[in-house]
Amino acid sequence: MDAIDRKILLELQRDADLPYAELGARVGLSASAINERLKRLKGGGQIRRLSAEIDPAAFGLNLLAFLLVRLDQSADEGAFRAAMARAPQVLECHHITGKYAYLLKLRLREAADLERFLSGEVKIIPGVAATETIIALSSVKDGHQLPDPEMLARPIRQPGAAS
C-alpha cells in the first residue's frame, strides 16, 4: 500500500459515495486507475466493506450503553464471544485488560431493553461473574473513521492557545 492508496482510503472514509472520477481527481488518478486500486484494496482486505453511516435515532435506538463484563474461571469464553457476536444490540465487543474481561458497546431503544439484554442475554451465560453498565448521556465524538497517521504526529492544540 502506497501513499496514494492511503489517500484513497482516507477520502472513502469521509465519503464512500464519491464517484470514481471525483475520487481520482482528489488523489491525482483517472477513474479507471481508481477502479483498479479499489479492486486491489478490497481483494487485499484493506477495505472490509463500504457502508452507510446511519443515525441510530432513525431506528429509535436512542440509548447508547457500554457494558463491562467480568468472567470467572469456569467461563467458556468461546460461548460468551459467540453469544455477543450474535446479539444485534452489540455493536462492538472488545477483549480488554484490567478487572473486567470484555467491553461491549450497545445500542438499544430504552432502559427496559437494556434490562432485558442484561438479564436474558448476558447474565444467563455460565461464568459471567459481574457486569458494570455505563450509559452515555451524550456523545462528543462517535465514529469509526481511522485517523490519518500524519495527524497523529501533530501536537494537539490546547483550547484557548494561540494559533
Q: What is the pTM of this model?
A: 0.80
**Which phi and psi (to 5°) does residue 150 adopt?**
-65, -35
Q: Domains (ranges, CATH) in the chain?
A: 3-43 (1.10.10.10), 56-135 (3.30.70.920)
Asked if residues 139 and 109 have their Cβ atoms less than 8 Å apart, the reply is: no
What's the pLDDT score for residue 161?
63
> Distance of CA 80 to CAs 26, 106, 108, Å?
44, 16, 20
pLDDT by 10-residue block (mean), the chain, 163 residues? 90 91 96 96 92 89 97 95 96 97 97 97 96 96 78 68 61
What's the pLDDT score for residue 51?
83
Determine the residue type at 102. Answer: Y
Residue pLDDT, tens place only, 74-97: 999 999 999 999 999 999 999 999
Q: What whole-number distance in Å separates Cα of residue 83 and Cα of residue 61?
A: 21
First to last CA, the chain: 34
Asked if residues 104 and 84 have their Cβ atoms less than 8 Å apart, the reply is: yes
Q: What is the DSSP letter of 119?
A: I
